Amino acid sequence: MVDQKLLVEEVKKIVSQEDVKYVIGYKKGTYGFAISPAFAYSPEYVDKFIFNPLCKKNLAVYPILEEKLPLKKGEKADTRKIGVIVKGCDSRALNQIIQEKGQKRENLVIIGIPCTGVIDQKKIISKFPNVTDYTDIEEKNGNYKISINGEVHNIPKEELLADFCTSCVAPNPVIYDILIGDEVEPWEPQEHNNLKELNEKTIEEKWAYWEEHFQRCIRCYACREACPLCYCKECMADMLTPQWIRRSVNLSENTAWNIMRAYHLAGRCVGCGECESVCPVNIPLMELNKQIENDVKEMFNYTAGMDVDEKPLFGMFRPDDPEEFIL
């Protein structure tokens, strides 16, 4: 567990610096097990900052989202640095964005926190469906200690752990200016849940599987909004000239959208699972992403977001890259 006092002290120092605009972290939500992003523009607000196994949200998405807003007439851009708290997968997302020139490294103050895995909100809400007051959670001896209405529940970690955490390749931040707490011992990444079984299916069976899921898609684009690597100024899904996909909500267009987005993330997805977490109809989007990630690893020996000095996968050429797939 992270020392909350140390976290608050370090973030206060950062937000007090004249060259820092604000720091993005986590605070208690207003309902049940929810956690909210927090923006500290002054040291006083930092007292609300927390970090626990419920802090799943990938905050790497916010520096771009917040700074992309239009300026008021006559207003000049505030070019001070932005501080952001990151776990392992979050730091990989920032690395990838920096590689792609989406952000400049010198414009960020990165506060790294080693991660032992986060809780799947859908799993914990399913287990405790009627909790309305905010509930703090502590990880201890392989269990999550949860106090609800004065009653303490010790739940085995594997029952609530987010599935994508088991396949994490970097629980410790790979890039940071300040590290809060000691690095954790990395675990052996497991194959993503259901992927092996899915790969054993025939082409027809795979199509039937994805057809079942894609026909539920309501094209809310929550996956796009939550993803730290979906930061294009204009998404292809919104283009009208040319129109790549229609606005209709049907199986054909839903399939086009989901496959287009999955391939857009090829060699870029860091496995944070935000897309699947926010999907209101529970489409297993990480199965698509993880399959492509495995293919990229096998063909190019490349893992997204691990090295800020490395060029993006499709932004470099290697003479020994495989060419068997080129017709």
How do the pLDDT tens digits run along the chain, 327 residues long?
A: 688 899 999 999 999 999 999 999 999 988 889 899 999 999 999 999 999 999 999 999 898 887 777 778 888 888 899 999 999 999 999 999 999 999 999 999 999 999 999 999 999 999 999 888 888 888 988 899 998 888 889 999 999 999 889 989 999 999 999 999 999 998 888 887 788 889 899 999 999 999 999 999 999 999 999 999 999 888 888 888 888 888 788 898 999 999 999 999 999 999 999 999 999 999 999 999 999 999 999 888 899 999 888 888 888 777 877 777 666
Largest CA distance in the chain: 65
Residue 281 has a pLDDT of 95
Domain boundaries, the chain: 4-69+78-315
Tell me: the pLDDT tens digits for 168-201? 999 999 999 999 999 999 888 888 778 888 989 9
Residue 327 has a pLDDT of 62
Complete edge-to-edge strand list for the sheet that includes strand 143-148: 137-140, 143-148, 151-156
Cα separation, 87 vs 173, whole angstroms: 6
